[in-house]
Each structure stands twice: as C-alpha cells, then as structure tokens.
Structure 1
Amino acid sequence: MNPQPLALPSADWSAWLADYVGDRLQSASDTLQQLKDGTSRDTATVLRRWNDADIALRGAESAAGLFVEVHPESEVRTLAEELVQQIDRSKTDRNLDRALYDIVAATDSAGLDEVALRMRDHVLRDFRRSGVDRDEKTRTRLREISERLTVLDQDFGRAIRDDVRSVRLAAAQLEGLPADFLAAHPPAEDGLVTVTTDYPDYRPFRTYARDADARRNLTIEFESRGWPANDAVLHEMFELRDEKARLLGYESWPDFDADVKMIGTGNAIPEFIERISTAADAAGRRDLDALLTRRREDDPADTIDRSETGYYMELIRREQFDVDAREVRRYFDFTRVRAGLLEVTGRLFGLEYRPVDVPRWHEDVTAYDVYADGERRGRIYLDLHPRAGKYKHAAQFDLVGGITDRLLPEGVLVCNFPRGLMEHQDVVTLFHEFGHLIHHVLGGRQVWARFSGVATEWDFVEAPSQMLEEWAWDAAILGTFAIDETGTRIPADLVERMRAAKDFGKGITIKTQVGYAAVSYLLHRDRPADHTAAVMQAMERYGMIPGLPGTHFQASFGHLAGYTSAYYTYLWSLVIAKDLFSAFDADDLFDPAVAHRYRDRILAPGGSRDAADLVADFLDRPSGFDAFTAWLDTAPVANAAR
C-alpha cells in the first residue's frame, strides 16, 4: 500500500473539521458495534476491530486537539473544543462498556506475538483504569468526572492562551535591549512602548533590560496570566482527579497517575524529587552565591527574585565568561536556523525533508515531507511564530498517527519564536521540540495505534528531545548554519565560551525544575485551600528563588493540565537523556553507527516496548544516574573565567 498524507482544506475549515471528526467518530462507533454484534470473536478479529476503532478515535482526537491550539479563527477553535468534548465522551463510553471489556478479556493470548500481546494487555489495563469493573453508580460518576475534566482542561488552557498581558514603558526603560528588539518596538504617539508577555518580548526583556522596575513589572504580569479565572478551575480539577483516583481504588491522584509510568508509584515521586534536589544543592548554592554577589554590586540586597535571575545570569556570563547573548544572537537568524535544524537532523538520522506546497491553517506554517532511503515516511508542519489565540508555549502535536501501510505519521511543531534574530536558548528549544517531532515520525510505523509515535511511558518521552539539545551546542554543527548578516560563521572559540557559560547556572536551573515538580505533585496530593501560598512555599524550599509576591504562577502553569502531578518527568527524562548521550562520541556527533542505532532502537519502536528495555537495548545495560551526576558536578565557579 502507498498511504497518502491527510488532505487539509484550503477554505471552510469548520466544515472540514466537523466532517473529518464526525466521520471518524461514526467509523469508531460502527466498528465497536460490529465487534459487539459479531458472531466471530476470535482473538485476531477482536484485536483488529479494536485497533480499527482506535485508529479512528485517535485521528479525530489529534485533529480536533491540534486546531483548538493553533487555528487563527476563534470559531474554528470553539468548534474544535466542542468536538474534543464529543471525542472524549466517545472514549469514555468505550472504556466503560462492560460488554466490550468482556469481549476483549475473553480473547486468548496464546499465539499472539509479543507486541500484539502487549497491546491486548494495555487495552485491558485501560479498561480497568477507566472503572469498567465498578458498579453502575460508580461508572456513572466516573463518566461525569471524565466529561467535566475535559471541559476544565479546555477552560484552563484557553485562559492562558487568551491572557496576553503587557506593560507600557518609556523608551529609556528599554535600555540594554538589542537593536533589532528596539526597532521592532517603536514608541506609540504618546511616546510609550508596549512590551507583551509573549515569549519573543518577555524572554529578551527579562534578560537584557537594565531597568529593574520594568523587568519586575513585566515578570509580575507574566506570572499572573490566567489569574483569577484559573484559580477556581484548578481547585475543581484537582478535587475531581482525586475523586476519580479514589473511586478506582487508589489513595491519591499521583498514585493513579504514576501506576503506568516508569516511576511506578506516587510515593516514589517525592523520593525522586528529594534525590535530585540533594544532588543539585551544592551547584545551586554556588550559582545563587554568584548571583547575589553580582547583584550587590548594583544594590546591597540579601535576596534575588525571579525578575532578576535571568538578567544577572546574563551579566555574569557576559562579564566573567566573555559571552554576550546580544552578540551571540546575531548568528541565529530564524530562517537559517530552521534550515540548519533540518540539515542537521536529516544528516543525523538519515532523513530528507522536501518542502511541499499544501493547504495550511496559517501563512506562517511550513510543511515538509520526510523521506528515508527515497521512501516517504511522514509529513511535518512547523508553526513557529506567535499570534493571537495560539498556544503560548512550545510543544509537538500529533495530526495523524502513523500505521504501517495505512497512515503516514504527521506531526506539528508549535512554538513562539521571533521572526528575525533568535536567542541561542530559542535554538536549543527548537532542537528539543523537534526531537519530539522526529520521534513521532520515526516511531510511526506500527501495526497498533496504541503504540504509534511518542507512545512510551510519559516519564520517558522527554529524554529523546532533551538529548537532541546537545546538537545545538556543538561548534562544528552550529558553524553550518549560525551565520551573521555579513556571512561570518559563529567562531568556534565563542561556542566554547558559550558552553562554559551555560554550565554556570545549571544548578539553579535544576533546582527550579525541582520546584516545579514539587508544585505539580503537592497541589495534587494535598489539594491546599490556598494554591498560591503552597506554590510560594514549594518554590522557596526547592527552587531557591522564591516567587514574586502578588503573582500566581500556577494559574499559567500549563503542564498542570497535560502532565498533571507528573512534572517530575522532565527531570526523570533528563537523567536518562544524559545517559543516552554518553553513548555518543562528543567529538563526532554525526557518527552514523551510533546515530542509526539510536534511531532504530530508541525512536523507531514507538511504544511497542517498555522504555527501560529500549534504553537497555541501546546502551547494552540498564540506565543509571552516573552520567547525570557527572554532568551536574561540572558546574563551574562563576568567577572561573575572570
């Protein structure tokens, strides 16, 4: 067979989306009904029909879920939200259908290959985790909770997307910002300049602006997004998740959520948090002492807050490591970076990206077909600039899940980068997110929809993308696309200084991530009456840099929707990522033997094997902690480059 990419419309997106989702919902319903009505219920027939329905449901879910976040027309986003609710109701009905469960449970596992057996086991596990074996009253309540949580997740995300805040400043308050930023922010007729909380404004401003009050005011606005609307949303969300977990026999939501992750149990989450926090403590304290020492040169203070860390980290890197990010960014023109990303990942994984002129939902979006050995393997869309109503962070979204000989995998990268010069950190983020996209495409040759693409345990999914960040720090690799407007390539010695400078601050970075992990876990475990107070306490204990008074970080902490209590997964995955990277030769990151073994053993299997087994297969040993601690211990003293 020769599967073709999904044909998107050139107009009338609402009609297309309604028809596309409606057709798949009907197909899934018909297939499941045939399964219940059928007289032939041999194992092969049951699993095949289940998979057919799963393919249809996942296709509907991917399309509707994507366009909630990216479509420029509010009517299409609203329709997509309504369709997501319909899809989730269909999935809930399926997973609470006792007749369907009995049919699948009655199948014979004998004769199934390893992956088919895994699929059967996962389907039965999903049934049980949905509550199919509970009494009718409990199943009814679980259905109500599921439907309400879908609405709450949408309310939470919409409040963040739509709440773009700004500060208005005198032109003098932009002192320190790069020339291209100033050119893009001319004063209005009243002489004031508007700076927003969108990333292309916020990140450079908090890094370079010399005006401490302006930095603080913008940070307060940034960390108040979604407030107060999301306060009530989060309270209800956490209570319903807890109720669901208890109805299913778990002590708490973290216990329910961790049961299908590598970490295994909810109680293991705080143990892991403490382990990472302890490991990063010395490096974090060194970083904090350096920041405070530098700040005291400007202001005799004993503390530093979240509006100041980025600015003083940048000052230290500039003054003590001879790295000025304002100068570095001149080498990272967006168009060249995007082309370089494709060239680097294509060479690394043996891929070719061919631009295609197809309908897209916005003119900013670019599309490419992905080829390996002359064969089309999938399609990717890059939607990389901010706009009104669009998802505000950076993520990879599925459009189509790949199925062997039936569907080509299609994924979408959704980010918020500037159109001109990029911060190097933006380049790192782009490589990170592209790691997810490649995982979706290369892992998209699966018989079973359940395992297509990024379908491993959730505390592993960040590891491949975190590892790919390393390619954005290599001097030879950056030299292929980091070129300024005069045609000068980024000097290798500058990249080496950048690498030294990046090692400063990673202690605080890890401690901050520990703080976020604690927030996501503790809000779910304890469900405190005052979320803001709990967040402030957690960040002060674990994050080293306390939150700003009057802010409500949790109201725009989007991961509380998708990742729920499991934000720890970023750190869990980072430990694995450092171990995976240890298999590569740092002096030759394009070594095809290692790169292709990684591609074939980590990415290509999708979710068809446990993540621990994938890692052990690639490393020829179980994953360990040593590479992470060795990396953490290399953090330099800030004045080492004086």
Structure 2
Amino acid sequence: MTLTPLALPTTADPTAWLAFLDARGRRSLDEAERLTSALRALSDGDTAALEAWNDLGIVLANASAVGSLVSQVHPDAGVREDAEKIETEVHAFRTRLMLDTEVYARLASLEGADLDAALPTGAGRVLADALRAFRRSGVDRDDATRETLRALSERENDLSQAFSRNIRDGATSTRVPATALAGLPADYVEAHPAAEDGTVEISTGYPDTHPFMAFSTDRDARRAVMTTFLNLAWPANDQVLADLLAVREEMARTLGYSGWPDFDAEVKMIGSGDAIASFVEKVATDAVDSAERDAALLTERARIDHPDLERLDVADARHYSETVRRERFQVDAQQTRTYFDFTRVRQGLLDVTGRLFGITYTPVPDAVSWHDEVTVYDVSLDETGETLGRIHLDLHPRAGKYNHAAQFDLVPGVLDRQLPEGVLVCNFGRGLMEHSEVVTLFHEFGHLLHHTLAGRHPWVRFSGVATEWDFVEAPSQMLEEWAWDHGVLATFATDADGEAIPAELVERMREAEEFGKGIYARTQMYYAAISYYLHEQRPDDLTARVAELSEQYAVSRRLPDTHFHCGFGHLGGYTSGYYTYMWSLVIAKDLFSAFDPADLFAPDVARRYRDTVLAAGGSDDAAVLVERFLGRPYDNAAFTAWLES
C-alpha cells in the first residue's frame, strides 16, 4: 500500500492555515464523536471495540499533533491562538472520553480474552494500557467525583497552556553598552549594531544569550543579561504555576494517590515519587567530589579577575567555564565554531545518521510549510527502498516561535494507514554554531529518528516515541556521542578553507567537556529537585523554595531577584519528572557501551539497535527493549565510571 504525506496548505497565508486547522482539527473531533458512539453501541466481548479504540486514538492523535505544533511555530498570532483552541478542544474531548463509563465497559469486557490471537500483535498490551489509563482518569468513581476530575483536567490543561504561552510570548531583551561585546565573535558583533545611545540589544533567545554569557568580559552586563533571562515569564507565571501545582495535587488526591509525584511516577520506570527523591539525592551525592574539584578551579581562575570573589554565581559560571576550557585545555569556542557552519552541520547530521542507520533523506524542495526557512525531507529505508516517513526541520528563531529545542509530532505513523511525520523545532543561528549547539541538534534529531523509525506499528498508542517517559531521552542522549567523535565530525566539520577539524582539537574538546561533569550533574539535580519538590510540597513562596534548592544542589550561586521557575518550561510537560534526563543518561551510557568507540559507523550493532530499540517504539517495556539489545538487564556501571573518571 502506497501512503502519501499529509497535505499542508500551499501557502503560509493565515486564512489557508485556519482552514487547515479546522479540517484537520475540528473535523477530526467530529469523526471522534462518531467513532465513540459506534464503540458504545458494540456488544460486550466484541473485539471490534479494541480496533475502534485504535481508530479513535488515530483521529485524536492527528488533531492533537497539528494543534500542538502549529500553536508553537506559525508566524501569525491568530493562527497560533486557533491552534491552541484546538489543543484545548482535543484535551476536553479526551477528558470526557476517559470518564465515559460505556466506552470503558466495552473495553473492560475484553479482559481475559486471547486478543493477540484475533487481532494484530500487541492487542493485549494496548488493552491493558487503555484500562489503566481509564482507571487513572477516575472512570470507576461516582458521578460527582468524575465531574470533579473532568473540571480539574480541563483546568490543568488551561494552566499548562498559559504557562507555556507566557514563556513563548514573554521573550524580551536587555540593552547593554556596545563595549560589552568585547570578546564576542565578529559575526555576533556584526549582528548586534549599536543604537544611537551606544547600547546593543541582547534578547532572551539562546543564540543571543548563550554566546554573550560565555564570551563577554563585562561582568555587569553579563549579570544584567542573565537576570533578564532568569526572569522570563515573571511575574505572570508565578501565580499560574502555583495554581497548576494545586490543581495537579487535587487531581492526584481525588484519585487516591498520596500526591502528584506518586501519580505521575506510577507509569514510569522509576515507579514512585519517593524513588525520585532518592534518585536525585544519590546522583547529587555521587557528584559532590567532582563538582567541588571543578568549582574550585573555576573560582581560582575567576579570582585572578576579581580577587574578592567568594563564590561564583550563575552570571560568572558560563564565562569562567569557557575561560578555563580555553586556557587549561586550549579549547577556544570561537576557534571551534569556525568548523561548524550551520548549513554543513545540518547536511552532516543527515549524512551521519543516514549512514549509521541505513536510511536516506530525500529533499522535498517544493514542500509547503508554515515558514520559508523550514526544510523538508522524505525518509526511506536503504535495504528495501520503503518510505518510512517525512521530517520537517524548523531550526532558526523568529518572533512568536517556541523558544527552546524539541521534536513535535505532525502525524503519528500507523502501519498501512499513515506515514509518520515529525518536526524538529530549534533556535540556532544561521551562521556559525557553537559545538554545544551541534550536540543539541544531534540530541533533538534522535527524537525525530525515534518517531520516524517507530512509525510502522498497527496500534497508534505504541507508535513513535511511545515508551515510558523516563526512557524517552536515552536514545537522544546516546546519539550525542556521535557529535564528540573525530571520525564523525571530520565528515562535515570543516573551516572556510575546507580543512577538517583536527583530531587533537576534538580530543581537547572532549577533555574540556569532561571537565565540569560533576557540576553538570549537580545542576541537573537542582532542576530535578525543583520539578519534584515544588509538586511534592507546593510551597507558598515558590521563589524562596527554589532559592533553598539552589543552595542545596546547585554549585553556582543564584542571582538575587530572579525567578527561574517562571521560565522553566519543563514544569509544564515533565511536571514532577525532570529527573528523567539523568535517569535516561544512565541508560544511554549503558546503551553506548555496546558500540565500538573506534568505529562508530560499524553497521551491525547500529542496525541491531535501530531495529530492537528505536523501531520498536512502545511495543514493549523500555527495560525489555534495552535488555534485548544489550543481551542483559541495564545497569549503572558505565554511568558511574563516567562520573568518577
């Protein structure tokens, strides 16, 4: 069966996109209503109920994906607002559906049946997942409780959207003296012309803020820029977040859980809220020696410039990390970035992952999109020539766009029904990239690969990146390793004269990166602690509690009068589970141990990993997929060795 990609509007014109949203979003909800009625009408024990459930899942996933994506990327505010309304409508429909006692009864009547004998493989797993989701929604509670849960779910969605919207639309800037650009790369200086008053504007976008914090020698200007960055979406999100935490807590307790973290962790590998706290504490403790050693070196170097310095703060940390890497390891980020021209990096990423996983990316030059900077590729499998799906790369910043880096679904793949389509949404500059940005690009592309390669399952629930949430980051974190290998980088990292990046420079870059890994681990646990403890404790003063957690976990001192939690977007989607980044890293290090560092392009292990882990999607538990690939259960030996080395 030949499947075709989703037909997007032939123009970026808002009118066309509003019509598209109506057709793809609201008409899908009409179809969902019809499918729900048909499902209710089936007899108990009829296996057609599970197939109807899958049909319903496909329709809702399609509507949800387009609403979620377009609300974050379309240049027109009116289109973004309409897409956000569709997200709300889909969420409201899902909430009602998961409290529908008749739909639940039709599915519950199939418990105990040998579904895999009559339906495509995985039917039993789909049923078990659906029934658990229904019960976690409160479908088996009395009418009054179900109504309470419905209202809470819709309120939670509204608050989550507001939290994200305030971050996206709250992008701002800081004006600093033009002299503060001393130390910045020439192309950065050129892109920031001075105004008549002798100041330049530094936005809160990553391509502006990150280089400035690394290279500017003006300490006061760095502090001003970082203060603005750490006050993104404040004060608006302070109350929004407080309300969001309260609503989540009430939902969890209404369902009989001790609190939101226990409710959220139940469907993850970690299992419980208490286990999150234990994991955060263990990693933070294990990283103490390494973090203190490296922090002492940074402070020692900073005192050369500021003899009275007692402790580095977050406005100094990135600058002196860069300084120490340059002076101690002879790694100058301004030199390394000359090897990472954006256009070459983008093509290099495609070449590397194509060679590694046996896939081909074919440009679709006439593909229409929401912005003319988006590039589109069809993805096919080399062994068979089969089209696997389509990817869209939206990689540069603009007003009103999602201002972090993430992979969004556009179409979930379903075997013989629809091709997967995914979108990479990032905010990189259009010229030279820092190597850290290259690593980020590899990481996020890992999610896109996962979505595309796992798009050939009959059950939409386990299509794409559909594993436990605390495993989701592991494949992407592992792909970062290829961005640190000279043999890989040399295939695309060349300077203006075409000279490949030297092997000894890459080695020094790796050594410099290893410096500070204890600080990195402690910082990640600071973020994880915010995520967990704000949900667990719901403090009256969020700013004060975040300040306490900073003192407990972070290495660098926080800046006064800043409100990091207001711009910490992961509190929206990851809720209490930011620990998952480090949990996944433990598994990623173990996965990578199966590869030969001397030949990262070796096809056998890469294709086996592709087929057993990535292409499997959510068809089995993550621990099972990893064990199938490694030939043993995963452990933390590789991670511990990395942290202690």
Show CA shifts across 1:431-490 (max 9, x none): 000000000000111111110100000000000000000000000110110111111111
Q: CA deviation at 1:364?
A: 1.0
Query: For 1:145, which of 147, 152, 160 is the aligned residue?
Result: 152
Q: Where do 1:615-626 residues align within 5 Å?
A: 615-626=626-637
Residues 1:334 and 2:342 aligned together: yes
Q: Answer whether contact 1:43 1:108 (CA < 8 A) is retained.
A: no
Query: For 1:566, which of 554, 577, 582 is the aligned residue?
Result: 577
Q: CA deviation at 1:191?
A: 2.6
Show CA shifts across 1:294-342 (max 9, x none): 1111112111100111100111010010100001001100000000000
> How much identity, in percent, do the aligned residues show?
56
Q: CA deviation at 1:195?
A: 1.1
Query: For 2:37, which of 33, 36, 41 is the aligned residue?
Result: 33
Q: Where do 1:54-69 residues align within 5 Å?
A: 54-69=57-72
Partner SS state of residue 200, structure 2: strand
1:533 is matched with: 544
Q: Between 537-546 and 298-307, report the one with greater CA deviation.
A: 537-546
Q: CA deviation at 1:111?
A: 2.3
Partner SS state of residue 330, structure 2: coil
Q: CA deviation at 1:170?
A: 2.1
Query: For 1:208, which of 187, 212, 215 is the aligned residue?
Result: 215
Report the residue type matching 2:430 in the other structure: R
Show CA shifts across 1:37-59 (max 9, x none): 234x5443111011001100011
Q: Answer whether contact 1:536 1:546 (CA < 8 A) is retained.
A: no
Query: For 2:292, which of 275, 280, 285 is the aligned residue?
Result: 285
C-alpha distance in structure 1 between counterparts of 2:227 and 2:126, whole Å = 47
Residues 1:421 and 2:425 aligned together: no
1:77 is matched with: 80
2:8 is matched with: 8
Change in CA separation of 1:595 and 1:16 when aligned onto 2, cut-off 3 Å: same
C-alpha distance in structure 1 between counterparts of 2:123 and 2:105, whole Å = 18
Show CA shifts across 1:162-191 (max 9, x none): 112212122211100011101111112333
Report the residue type matching 2:140 in the other structure: D
Q: Answer whether contact 1:97 1:132 (CA < 8 A) is retained.
A: yes
C-alpha distance in structure 1 between counterparts of 2:484 and 2:333, whole Å = 14
Partner SS state of residue 83, structure 1: helix
Q: CA deviation at 1:536?
A: 1.1
Q: Where do 1:281-320 residues align within 5 Å?
A: 281-300=288-307, 301-320=309-328
Report the residue type matching 2:476 in the other structure: S
Q: Answer whether contact 2:45 2:106 (CA < 8 A) is retained.
A: no
Q: Answer whether contact 2:299 2:311 (CA < 8 A) is retained.
A: yes
1:224 is matched with: 231
1:462 is matched with: 473
Backbone CA RMSD of aligned residues = 0.9
Q: Answer whether contact 2:42 2:49 (CA < 8 A) is retained.
A: no
Report the residue type matching 2:53 in the other structure: W
Q: Where do 1:578-589 residues align within 5 Å?
A: 578-589=589-600
C-alpha distance in structure 2 between counterparts of 1:108 and 1:454, whole Å = 26
Change in CA separation of 1:200 and 1:132 when aligned onto 2, cut-off 3 Å: same
Q: Answer whether contact 1:435 1:465 (CA < 8 A) is retained.
A: yes
2:21 is matched with: 17
Structure 1 gaps of 5+ residues are 635-642
Show CA shifts across 1:379-427 (max 9, x none): 0000000111111110000000000010100000000000000000000
Report the residue type matching 1:529 in the other structure: D
C-alpha distance in structure 1 between counterparts of 2:224 and 2:145, whole Å = 48
Report the residue type matching 1:631 in the other structure: W
C-alpha distance in structure 2 between counterparts of 1:457 and 1:468, whole Å = 19
C-alpha distance in structure 2 between counterparts of 1:22 and 1:83, whole Å = 7
Q: CA deviation at 1:546?
A: 2.7
Partner SS state of residue 607, structure 1: coil
Residues 1:50 and 2:53 aligned together: yes
TM-score, length basis structure 1: 0.98
Q: Answer whether contact 1:197 1:222 (CA < 8 A) is retained.
A: yes
Report the residue type matching 1:274 in the other structure: E
Partner SS state of residue 273, structure 2: coil
Q: Where do 1:246-285 residues align within 5 Å?
A: 246-285=253-292
Query: For 2:414, which of 398, 403, 415 is the aligned residue?
Result: 403
Q: Answer whether contact 2:280 2:525 (CA < 8 A) is retained.
A: yes
2:587 is matched with: 576
C-alpha distance in structure 2 between counterparts of 1:606 and 1:281, whole Å = 36
2:378 is matched with: 369
Q: Answer whether contact 1:378 1:409 (CA < 8 A) is retained.
A: yes
Residues 1:90 and 2:93 aligned together: yes
C-alpha distance in structure 2 between counterparts of 1:318 and 1:64, whole Å = 45
Show CA shifts across 1:528-551 (max 9, x none): 001011111112111122321100
Q: Answer whether contact 1:164 1:196 (CA < 8 A) is retained.
A: yes
Partner SS state of residue 30, structure 1: helix
Partner SS state of residue 2, structure 1: coil
Residues 1:131 and 2:135 aligned together: no
TM-score, length basis structure 2: 0.97
1:359 is matched with: 368
C-alpha distance in structure 2 between counterparts of 1:460 and 1:558, whole Å = 19
C-alpha distance in structure 1 between counterparts of 2:412 and 2:531, whole Å = 29
Aligned residues: 633
Query: For 1:495, which of 506, 531, 541 is the aligned residue?
Result: 506
C-alpha distance in structure 2 between counterparts of 1:241 and 1:281, whole Å = 33
Partner SS state of residue 367, structure 1: strand
C-alpha distance in structure 1 between counterparts of 2:27 and 2:86, whole Å = 12
Q: Answer whether contact 1:72 1:362 (CA < 8 A) is retained.
A: yes
Report the residue type matching 1:536 in the other structure: A
C-alpha distance in structure 1 between counterparts of 2:199 and 2:282, whole Å = 48
Q: Answer whether contact 1:453 1:607 (CA < 8 A) is retained.
A: yes
C-alpha distance in structure 1 between counterparts of 2:454 and 2:47, whole Å = 23
C-alpha distance in structure 2 between counterparts of 1:43 and 1:596, whole Å = 39
